[in-house]
Amino acid sequence: MIEYLSSLPSAVAQGIIWGVMAIGLFITFKILDFADLTVDGSITTGAAVCAMLIVNGCPVAVAMLAAFAAGMLAGLVTGLFHTFMGIPPILSGILTQLILWSVNLKIMGKANQALPARNYFLLVSQLNRTRSILVLAAVVIVLIAILYWFFGTEYGASIRATGCNLHMSRAQGINTAFTKIIALMLSNGIVALAGALLGQYLGMADINMGRGAIVIGLAAIIIGEALFARIARNFAMKLLAVVGGGIIYFFVYQTIVFLGLDTDLLKMLSAVVVAIFLAIPYWKKKYFTFAKTPQASDNLPFASAENPDGEVREEDGDHA
Amino acid sequence: MLELKHVCKTFNPGTINEKAALQDVNLHLNPGDFVTVIGGNGAGKSTMLNMVAGVYPIDSGSVVIDGVDVTRLTEHKRARYIGRVFQDPMMGTAADMEIMENLAIAARRGKRRTLRWGFTSQERTEYREKLASFDLGLEDRLTAKVGLLSGGQRQALTLLMATLQRPKILLLDEHTAALDPKTAAKVLELTDRIVSENALTTLMVTHNMKDAITHGNRLIMMHNGHIIYDVSGEEKKKLTVEALIEKFAQTSGQDFANDRALLS
């Protein structure tokens, strides 16, 4: 039991790191409505860039900035695949992910790079969990503050509009190809930053560390949404809920480890849980159409007797 | 204000689905013209509006707005000159965003979007006043998500969004066709008011011939990608639905009665 309790701080630290990654994913998955598989590669890129620079004598702050920039480049590639070359979102991400596999090997020169905290000054490390958690909490607060500001600006609003309605965005003069690229770059920059933190915390960068990252990120988003939906109404709280989701994911993970269940099965379990949660909105629509939420029912000067909801009449358009 | 010269557009060229949607269309709009566009299904009405808006590139010809040749400009670049309301109420607004945010985005059409905050407190007052004049009860719901609004409310909001930045051309693509008759009448009334208050140059596609006659100062009829009838001023005021149907039969050699237009 003591062993279990002593593993919890580590669960919190790793949960926050993956929460940061999930915040990056939130930008593409939730705001842009773009399932971006680049993240499986860009998280490793972040760790690899950060580890190599620190091992070669770079200060940790510079290494992390470089990791962020490398992630943004990865996002740029995916963005160009999608907007300039017309490749569907999922495939664009997969292609960049594959490119990054080679790039990551080239960055490290091998499949694994050790980054021992005893030899270098690191921001976070397993050896000092309390300090790590405090540092990570600060990172999360600063990150959420910056994103809250950015998505409230004129430009941030145009990115949100792009994810919501392409027709409307173009009709309002928004260059939707450009906003998509910016969002993908920002997202992957944050994911790579999470990778840099993860590499420091684990004391190594490994070519396989990003495998299935998107599923863990989605799990964090979904858990956060499910558990904190009532309190997480504004944008900053939603991002905080995502980090909460990441922490809970790793609590569950540690519990499974403690109970002696086969951890090899964890990725499968995560995937199944994510799949079910992704299916819920679809099932709701398909099987529970009668339990419709009272959409647009209050305060309706435009509603009429024939059409109490002021709903759209079905009519085929002039498609010429 | 708007000049279409020899505009041609063929969809799916060289295939079995080839469709010559616009064939050598020429149109000149004076500033302040409010033109209603009628015609059967597939006549090319929506295509003509989409060509003006730049949704697809045209095959040949040119589009000039207020002296600026926009033929090669992309859709988002042309948006600075054009306000649009679509047939589908879902298309003109961002459902997950607040009424306020939608309006603020529209107010910046054609301007550089910076890293300043998305809207100013001055704008909030301005939008509240404008919405209050619509009498839809929206002025107190500025922070409500647009997805919660009815179809009619969304079309009214889209209309306001299209005209917050005074457009050189207002394109209305059957913007009342998806609404019930009572709501449609209210949105049309609002359209008339906004167009005349701002003296907007407007192209309005409609399936309703009565609306086409009672609104605007000029009417054009399209058929098979051609403008087959163009009437304005006193002559338009004297038009009747019957006369229009007869005109259509004469010029197109077809019976309009089969078409949806008569039903509406």
Query: Tell me: the pLDDT tens digits for A155-214?
Result: 999 999 999 999 999 999 999 999 999 999 999 999 999 999 999 999 999 999 999 999
In angstroms, the CA A101 to CA A44 distance is 9
Q: Which of A127-136, A264-273, A305-314, B56-65 has the lowest mean pLDDT?
A: A305-314
Give me the residue from B47, B114, B150 closest to A302, CB to CB: B150
- Is A314 a residue whose pLDDT tops 50? no
Give me the residue from A168, A174, A319 closest to B93, CB to CB: A168
Chain B contact present for A315, CB below 8 A: yes
Ramachandran quadrant class, B216 (left: phi over 0; alpha: psi -120 to 50; beta: rest): left
- Is A312 a residue whose pLDDT tops 50? no
In angstroms, the CA B262 to CA B264 distance is 6
> Exposure pattern of A27-61 as b/e (b: 16+ CB <10 Å)?
bbbbbbebebbbbbbbbbbbbbbbbbbbbeebebe
A222: in domain: yes
Nearest-by-CA chain B residue for A147: B115
The domain of A165 spans 2-287
- CB under 8 Å to B134, separation ≥6 — which residues? B156, B160, B190
Beta-bridged to residue B9, according to DSSP, are B22
Beta strands in chain A (DSSP E): 112-114, 204-206
Which pLDDT value is given to residue B41?
82
A39: in domain: yes
A305: in domain: no
Residues of A in contact with B150 (CB under 8 A): 296, 300, 302-303, 309-311
Q: Would you say B36 and B244 are in contact if contact means Cβ atoms under 8 Å apart?
A: no
Tell me the percentage of chain A whose pLDDT exceeds 70.
90
Which pLDDT value is given to residue A281?
79
Residues of B in contact with A296 (CB under 8 A): 148-150, 153
pTM over 0.95: no
pLDDT tens digits along A80-98: 999 999 999 999 999 999 9
- Is A300 a residue whose pLDDT tops 80? no
Closest CA to A6 of A258, A200, A247: A258
Number of compact structural domains in chain A: 1
Residues of A (173-232) whose Cβ lies below 8 Å from B? 173-176
Which pLDDT value is given to residue B208?
87
Tell me the percentage of chain A whose pLDDT exceeds 90.
70
- The H or E element spanning position A197 is helix A176-202
Which pLDDT value is given to residue A66?
98
Give me the residue from A153, A154, A310 closest to B151, CB to CB: A310
A292: in domain: no
Q: Would you say A64 and A201 are in contact if contact means Cβ atoms under 8 Å apart?
A: no
Which pLDDT value is given to residue B143?
92
- CB under 8 Å to A25, separation ≥6 — which residues? A36, A39, A187, A191, A214, A217, A218, A221
- Is A303 a residue whose pLDDT tops 90? no
Which pLDDT value is given to residue A315?
36
A318: in domain: no
Residues of A in contact with B91 (CB under 8 A): 165, 167-168
Which pLDDT value is given to residue B28?
93
- Other CB atoms closer than 10 Å to residue A191's CB: what's the count? 38
Q: Would you say A311 and B36 are in contact if contact means Cβ atoms under 8 Å apart?
A: no
Residues of A in contact with B148 (CB under 8 A): 295-296
- Is A271 a residue whose pLDDT tops 50? yes
Residues of A in contact with B118 (CB under 8 A): 152-154, 156-157
How many angstroms separate the CA of residue B142 from the nearest CA in chain A? 14
- Is A246 a residue whose pLDDT tops 90? yes
Give phi and psi for A269, each to the nearest 5: -60, -45
A257: in domain: yes
A154: in domain: yes
Chain B contact present for A260, CB below 8 A: no
Which pLDDT value is given to residue B228?
87
Which pLDDT value is given to residue A305?
36
Chain A contact present for B61, CB below 8 A: no
Which pLDDT value is given to residue A222?
92
Q: Could you tell me the CATH number of the domain that includes residue A51?
A: 1.10.3470
A202: in domain: yes
In angstroms, the CA A41 to CA A27 distance is 17
Confidence of residue A294 (pLDDT cuts 50, 70, 90): very low
- The H or E element spanning position B196 is helix B181-198
Residues of chain B with pLDDT under 50: 260, 262-264
